[in-house]
Amino acid sequence: MTELPAGDRASYRLLDILDGTHALRAEFRHRRFRPHFHDTYVIGATEQGAEIFEARGGRHVSPAGSLRLINPGEVHTGAPPRAGVWGYRCLYPSVSLMAGIAAELGRSAPPFFPDMVVPHPALAAMLLRALAGAEGPASRLGREARLRVALAQIVVAQGAERPEIPPMRRAPQAVERTRRFITDHLAQDIGLAEVAQAAGMSRFHLLRVFKAETGLTPFAFQAHARVVQARSLLGRGLSVKQTAAACGFVDRSHFARVFLAIVGVTPAAYRDAVAPTAQRVSKP
């Protein structure tokens, strides 16, 4: 089964606070994430070394002491520097959670973070302490309060209103039809001709338009949508084998490779971290 490269470490867990938000602590020397996105925010801080990543058409560096703020749906990569290390902690808060925090601050909408890397050692240290404390023996009240205060401070300092998208840049209906068709057929081995027919355009045109609008090919979007569904099923206690079959992966090995490349931990490790023992229907 696919495992992390030697020298890489990652610990994924489901917090019992903040509506069951997921958190990750990792130290990577070899792991390189392919372009991917999350349906949540990614709010984290680099503890050591630096992260090198591509997003919004450019290259970014997140050194130790900086925040990394990724909005939901933003395609990005992630890797340590050459012959270096990338150590970090991050949280994956949902849109509804961040909307609630923003509302408590008197804002009418979930925050949009215009800067993906923020060199702010004080805020980064606050977030790192709150994330470390979330795994400690303190009361639930204290752990949640520290994390909420850290997130609120980040929203106040860095959050903005989401910019309006000019009409010419709005995703065409064909792209939305493609998204829906792929997500409605995740367990099936669909071909490009079927997807193009559902989109109502030629295969070549679809490939160009979809990549231009989403930053991903239809095949890459399919892999991500399958992983999103897989995370939900693993969290409900399904086995790795059952989840792979339900999400349309060829086999467990293929599933493990794709899941690890996007999430950063193996499906089995993710399931062990987030699925309550009582709900696990069988061994991985």
Domain boundaries, the chain: 9-158, 168-279
Q: What is the mean pLDDT of the chain?
A: 89
pLDDT in tens, 137-157: 778 888 999 999 999 999 999
pLDDT in tens, 172-210: 788 989 999 999 999 999 999 999 999 888 888 888 889
Query: What class does CATH assign to 9-158?
Result: mainly beta
CATH code at 168-279? 1.10.10.60
Mean pLDDT of 261-278: 84
Task: Label residue 169 by pLDDT band (50, 70, 90).
Answer: very low
pLDDT number for residue 284: 57
pLDDT in tens, 45-99: 999 999 999 999 899 999 999 999 999 989 999 999 998 999 999 999 999 999 9
Taking 70 as the threshold, does the pLDDT of residue 221 lie above it? yes
pLDDT number for residue 75: 92
d(CA 225, CA 7): 29
Mean pLDDT of 110-130: 96
Mean pLDDT of 202-224: 89
- Higher model confidence: residue 279 or residue 23? 23
3-state helix, strand, coil in the chain (%, to 5): 45, 20, 35
Taking 80 as the threshold, does the pLDDT of residue 4 lie above it? no
Task: Label residue 277 by pLDDT band (50, 70, 90).
Answer: low
pLDDT number for residue 278: 46
Mean pLDDT of 223-244: 93
Cβ-based burial of 164 (10 A; exposed 0-12, middle 13-18, buried ≥19): exposed
pLDDT in tens, 10-36: 988 888 889 889 999 999 999 889 889
Buried b (16+ CB within 10 A) or exposed e, 83-95: eebbbbbbbbbbe
Cβ-based burial of 38 (10 A; exposed 0-12, middle 13-18, buried ≥19): buried
**Whole-angstrom Cα Rg for the chain:** 19
Provide the terminal-to-terminal Cα distance of the chain, rounded to the nearest Å: 11
